[in-house]
C-alpha cells in the first residue's frame, strides 16, 4: 500500500482533435505537484509542448510474431490451415502486419519450422520537463499492443508517484473507445471528457461517457471551443443535465492555442490574459468533484 | 479502386474529406466508415439504413464435465484469456483474440465455441452513394475484427472510400491495408506534422502510396509543406480555415453542402490520384 493517496485523472474525448493535449499542457503548467503521462502512445504529442529531457529509455517488447524458417519448411500447409488471420502467404511467408501473435501456427507446425521471437513494438521514456516528470512512449508505427504499453507506462507513473510521494497523476489519453482507451481508464480516480460543440463531438462524447460508466469511473465534461456553435453547446449542456453529468466548465475558441503550440509552449505560458483563469476554475471543479470525494 | 483517408492525429478533418470525396465523384461510389470506435460519417451522410447485423467473435466456453485441467489451452493462449489454477478453469472473453488455438489443442473436447458480441455493422444509402459503418460495442477493446467485417461488405464495382480511425496502430493498419492509395489529412501545426510523419511511416511499411490534404491551411506554420517537399510527397489540396465550414460541420453539414465549389476540387483530387497511380507507384520509395 502506498503511504499516501494517489489520485489519477485521465483526460479523454472519444473524438480526436478536441483539445485533450493542449488542455493537459495547460494543466501541467498550472498544477504544482504531479506526474504527467502521455497514454496516446501511437500518436503522442504532449512532448511537443513540454520539451522533455529524456532521463531513461527502455524498449517495449509488445508480443511475439511468427517467422517461418524456410530451410525447415516443407510447405505442408498446416500453418495456413490453422491461422485465422490469413497471415501466411501461399509462398509461406508471414505478413507481419497481419500476424496477431497467437502462436497457433508455431504450435501446430509438424517440422518445428516456425520461430516465435518477441518483437520490439516501441519505447518508453522517463523524462524531466519544466513542469515535472513525464512518462511517455512511442509505439513503433503500425505496431500492436498499444493497450499493453499504456498499462506499462501507467504502472511506471504510479511507481514513481509512490517513491516520490506525489499525490497526483495526470494522464493524456488517446482518442476512441477501444483497447488503449480502456487501458488508460481502468482503475483511474476520475475522467475529464473534452468535447466540442459539434454533432460529432456529442456523438462521441456519448460513447466515451458510456465507456466510463461501464468501468465505473465518474466522468466530468468540458466543452472546448464553446463559442464556435452556441446552439450545439446548449445541446451538449442539456445532454449532460439529462444524463446526470457534471460540467467542469467551458473554454472559448482561441487561436492563441495554436500559436502557443507552434512555439512549443502551453497556452498558460503564451497568453497571459486569455484562457488561464478559466482553466484554473475548471481545475478547481475537477478537484472538487473528483479529488476531494 | 480503394482510397483510404487517414491522418495520424485526430480531428484534422478525415471524415469531412472522405464524405466530400464520396459526394463529389461521378463514378459509382461507396463510403465505408472504419472508425468503429467513434464513427461520425453517418452524421453527414444521413443514410437511409437498409440492414443491421450484429457481429460476433468465436470465443471458448468451458464444459467443466469434460475438462481434465491439462492446461494445454492456457499454455497455448498468448493473450491470457484462459487460466487454469488447480481444478479451476477461467476464461476472460475481453482478452480473447479469437485465434481459435484453444479449441484445436483441447484433447478432451471441453471447449465449446461461444459468441462474444463485437458490435454492429449497418449499411444503407445516401442518395446513390452506398454507406457502411461499424459501431464497436461499448467495453469491447478490439476494433480490428469489426473493421474487417466492415471492409468485407465492400462492393468491388464501386470506388471504395475508407474513412480510417486516428492513430498509427492496428485499427489504422486494418483499415488502410489493401488500399490503392491513402489520402492523409493533416493540419499545419506541430501536432499535425508529428503525427503525419508517423502515418507516412506506416504507409511506407505497407507500401501504399499517399498524398496529403492540409486542412485549416492558414493556421499554424509552414513546416508541413517543407516536410512534403523534402519527402517528395504530393500536396493534393489545401482547405483554409473558414468559420462557415466550422459552423456547418457542427450542425452535421458536409463540406460540399457548405461550399459546393469544393466539388470540383475533390474531382481534381481524384483525377490526380488516378494520375499518380498510373505512373510507377514505386517511384516514391526510391526517394530518401
Q: Which domains does chain A carry? A: 7-61+122-291 (3.40.50.300), 66-116 (3.30.70.20)
Residue A144 binned pLDDT confidence (cut-offs 50, 70, 90):
confident
Domain extent listing, chain B: 2-27+158-286, 56-117
- On whether any CB of chain A is under 8 Å from the CB of B167, the answer is yes
Q: How far is CA A101 from CA A78, A83, A115, B47, B113, in A?
A: 17, 10, 11, 38, 21
Would the CB atoms of B38 and A204 count as touching at under 8 Å?
Answer: yes
pLDDT confidence of residue B285: 44
pLDDT confidence of residue B284: 47
pLDDT over threshold 70, residue B283: no
In 10 A of CB B113, how many CB atoms?
11
Chain B nearest-CA residue for A101: B78
Chain B nearest-CA residue for A138: B198
Q: Are A282 and A19 in contact (CB under 8 A)?
A: no
- On whether any CB of chain B is under 8 Å from the CB of A200, the answer is yes
**Distance to chain B for A4, nearest Cα, Å:** 31
In B, which residues are within 8 Å of A262 by CB distance? 189-190, 220-221
Here the cell at position B241 is: 480555415
CATH superfamily label, B2-27+158-286: P-loop containing nucleotide triphosphate hydrolases (3.40.50.300)
- On whether any CB of chain B is under 8 Å from the CB of A38, the answer is no
CB-nearest partner of A18 from B11, B99, B220:
B11
pLDDT over threshold 90, residue B286: no
pLDDT digits (tens, 9 = 90+) for B185-232: 999 999 999 999 999 999 999 999 999 999 999 998 999 999 999 999
Q: How far is CA A169 from CA A8, A27, A159, A172, A214, in A?
A: 5, 11, 11, 10, 22
pLDDT digits (tens, 9 = 90+) for A177-224: 999 999 999 999 999 999 999 999 999 999 999 999 999 998 999 999
Beta bridge partners of residue B134, listed in sequence order: B121
What is the rounded average pLDDT for all residues in chain B? Answer: 95
pLDDT over threshold 80, residue B135: yes
CB-nearest partner of B168 from A43, A204, A211:
A43
pLDDT confidence of residue A142: 85
Nearest Cα neighbor of A247 from A221, A286, A225, A279 is A221
CATH 3.40.50.300 fits B56-117, yes or no: no
pTM assigned to the model: 0.95
Residue B67 binned pLDDT confidence (cut-offs 50, 70, 90):
very high
CB-nearest partner of B250 from A82, A176, A199:
A199
Q: How far is CA B180 from CA B2, B12, B210, in A?
A: 5, 22, 9
More confident residue, A200 or A1: A200
Nearest Cα neighbor of B142 from A276, A197, A178 is A178
pLDDT confidence of residue A183: 97
Residue A274 binned pLDDT confidence (cut-offs 50, 70, 90):
confident
Would the CB atoms of B138 and A214 count as touching at under 8 Å?
Answer: yes
CB-nearest partner of B101 from A104, A199, A200:
A104
Instruction: Indicate the SS3 state at residue A214.
Output: helix
pLDDT over threshold 50, residue B287: no
Contacts with A, B 246-275, CB within 8 Å: 246-247, 249-252
What is the rounded average pLDDT for all residues in chain A? Answer: 95
- On whether any CB of chain A is under 8 Å from the CB of B165, the answer is yes
pLDDT confidence of residue A235: 97
CB-nearest partner of A21 from B38, B168, B191:
B191
Contacts with B, A 208-227, CB within 8 Å: 210-211, 214-215
pLDDT digits (tens, 9 = 90+) for B19-41: 999 999 999 999 999 999 999 99
pLDDT digits (tens, 9 = 90+) for B78-107: 999 999 999 999 999 999 999 999 999 999
**Distance to chain B for A207, nearest Cα, Å:** 7
Would the CB atoms of B169 and A176 count as touching at under 8 Å?
Answer: no
**Distance to chain A for B134, nearest Cα, Å:** 13
Percentage with pLDDT > 70 across chain B: 97
pLDDT over threshold 60, residue A293: no
Chain B nearest-CA residue for A87: B99
Amino acid at each position: 500500500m502506498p503511504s499516501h493517496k494517489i489520485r489519477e485523472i485521465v483526460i479523454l474525448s472519444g473524438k480526436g482533435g478536441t483539445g485533450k493535449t493542449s488542455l493537459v499542457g495547460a494543466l501541467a503548467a498550472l498544477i504544482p505537484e504531479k506526474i504527467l503521462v502521455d497514454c496516446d502512445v501511437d500518436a503522442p504529442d504532449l512532448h511537443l509542448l513540454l520539451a522533455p529531457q529524456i532521463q531513461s529509455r527502455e524498449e517495449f517488447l509488445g508480443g511475439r510474431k511468427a517467422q517461418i524458417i524456410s530451410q525447415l519448411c516443407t510447405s505442408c500447409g498446416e500453418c495456413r490451415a490453422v491461422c485465422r488471420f490469413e497471415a501466411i502467404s501461399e509462398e509461406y511467408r508471414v505478413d507481419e502486419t497481419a500476424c496477431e501473435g497467437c502462436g497457433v501456427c508455431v504450435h501446430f507446425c509438424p517440422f518445428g519450422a516456425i520461430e516465435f521471437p518477441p518483437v520490439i513494438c516501441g519505447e518508453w521514456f522517463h523524462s524531466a520537463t519544466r513542469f515535472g516528470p513525464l512518462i511517455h512512449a512511442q509505439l513503433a508505427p503500425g505496431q500492436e499492443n498499444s493497450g499493453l504499453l499504456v498499462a506499462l507506462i501507467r504502472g511506471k507513473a504510479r511507481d514513481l508517484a509512490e517513491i516520490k510521494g506525489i499525490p497526483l497523476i495526470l494522464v493524456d489519453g488517446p482518442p476512441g473507445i477501444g483497447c488503449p482507451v480502456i487501458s488508460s481508464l481502468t482503475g483511474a480516480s476520475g475522467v475529464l471528457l473534452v468535447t466540442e460543440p459539434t454533432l460529432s463531438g456529442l456523438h462521441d462524447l456519448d460513447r466515451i461517457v458510456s465507456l466510463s460508466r461501464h468501468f465505473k469511473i465518474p466522468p466530468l465534461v468540458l466543452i472546448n471551443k464553446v463559442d464556435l456553435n452556441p446552439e450545439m453547446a446548449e445541446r451538449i449542456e442539456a445532454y449532460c443535465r439529462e444524463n446526470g453529468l457534471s460540467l467542469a466548465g467551458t473554454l472559448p475558441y482561441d487561436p492563441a492555442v495554436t500559436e502557443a503550440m507552434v512555439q512549443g509552449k502551453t497556452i498558460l505560458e503564451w497568453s497571459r490574459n486569455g484562457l488561464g483563469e478559466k482553466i484554473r476554475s475548471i481545475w478547481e471543479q475537477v478537484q472538487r468533484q473528483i479529488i476531494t470525494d | 479502386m480503394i482510397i483510404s483517408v487517414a491522418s495520424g492525429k485526430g480531428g484534422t478533418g478525415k471524415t469531412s474529406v472522405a464524405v466530400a470525396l464520396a459526394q463529389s465523384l461521378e463514378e459509382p461510389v461507396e463510403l465505408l466508415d472504419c472508425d468503429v470506435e467513434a464513427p461520425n460519417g453517418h452524421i453527414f451522410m444521413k443514410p437511409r439504413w437498409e440492414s443491421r447485423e450484429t457481429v460476433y467473435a468465436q470465443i471458448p466456453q468451458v464444459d467443466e464435465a469434460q475438462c481434465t485441467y491439462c492446461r494445454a489451452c492456457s499454455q497455448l493462449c498468448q493473450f491470457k484469456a484462459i487460466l487454469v489454477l488447480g481444478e479451476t478453469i477461467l476464461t476472460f472473453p475481453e482478452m480473447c483474440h479469437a485465434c481459435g488455438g484453444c479449441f484445436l489443442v483441447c484433447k478432451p473436447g471441453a471447449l465449446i465455441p461461444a459468441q462474444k458480441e463485437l458490435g454492429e455493422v449497418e449499411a444503407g444509402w445516401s442518395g446513390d452513394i452506398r454507406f457502411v459503418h461499424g459501431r464497436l460495442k461499448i467495453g469491447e477493446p478490439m476494433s480490428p475484427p469489426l473493421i474487417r467485417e466492415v471492409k468485407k461488405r465492400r462492393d468491388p464495382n464501386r470506388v471504395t472510400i475508407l474513412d480510417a480511425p486516428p492513430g498509427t496502430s492496428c485499427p489504422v493498419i486494418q483499415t488502410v491495408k489493401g488500399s490503392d492509395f491513402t489520402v492523409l489529412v493533416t493540419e499545419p501545426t506541430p501536432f499535425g506534422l508529428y503525427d503525419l510523419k508517423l502515418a507516412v511511416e506506416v504507409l511506407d511499411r505497407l507500401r501504399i502510396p499517399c498524398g496529403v490534404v492540409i486542412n485549416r491551411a492558414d493556421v499554424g506554420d509552414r513546416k508541413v509543406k517543407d516536410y512534403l517537399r523534402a519527402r517528395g510527397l504530393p500536396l493534393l489540396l489545401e482547405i483554409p480555415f473558414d468559420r462557415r465550414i466550422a459552423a456547418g460541420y457542427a450542425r452535421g453539414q458536409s463540406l460540399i453542402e457548405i461550399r459546393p465549389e469544393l466539388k470540383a476540387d475533390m474531382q481534381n483530387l481524384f483525377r490526380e490520384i488516378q494520375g499518380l497511380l498510373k505512373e510507377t507507384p514505386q517511384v516514391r520509395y526510391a526517394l530518401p
